[in-house]
Structures are given as structure tokens and as C-alpha cells.
Amino acid sequence: MSVHEKFHVVILKKKRKKKKKKKKKKKKKKKKKKKKKKKTSLTHAVGKGNEPSSKPSPSYADSWVR
């Protein structure tokens, strides 16, 4: 049983290290995507001209984030 427990602890430790690395990478990717989406939506609104008054830009970005 002690051997099994040791093995389990090693697996848990390895999993935790991998998860932390993945989370950091995901956060960086999300931040980049958010900036790009806001820029595209902004340019879209500027190009259309008539749409921003009927569709507020910030709420649109909020719905995308959700």
C-alpha cells in the first residue's frame, strides 16, 4: 500500500505541474484574442458608420467574452 500511495503522490504532483503550465499559456492566448476581437469590432463599427448607434460596441464585446 505504501508503494501505491507514493506512486499516487508522484502522479498528483506531475499533474499539478502540467496544469499550471497549461493555464498560463491559455491565459496569454485569451488576452491576445480579446484584444484582436475588440479591434475588429471597433473597425467594423467605424467602417459601417450607421450600426454603432443601434448596437453599442462594449456590450457586444461583453457578449463575446461570455
Confidence at residue 22, expressed as pLDDT on a 0 to 100 scale: 63
Would you say the pTM of this structure is higher than 0.95? no
**pLDDT tens profile 6-54:** 666 666 666 666 666 666 666 666 666 666 655 555 555 555 555 445 5
DSSP-derived secondary structure letter, 3: H
Helical ranges in the chain per DSSP H: 2-48, 51-54, 57-65
The C-alpha cell 507514493 sits at 6
DSSP state of 49: S
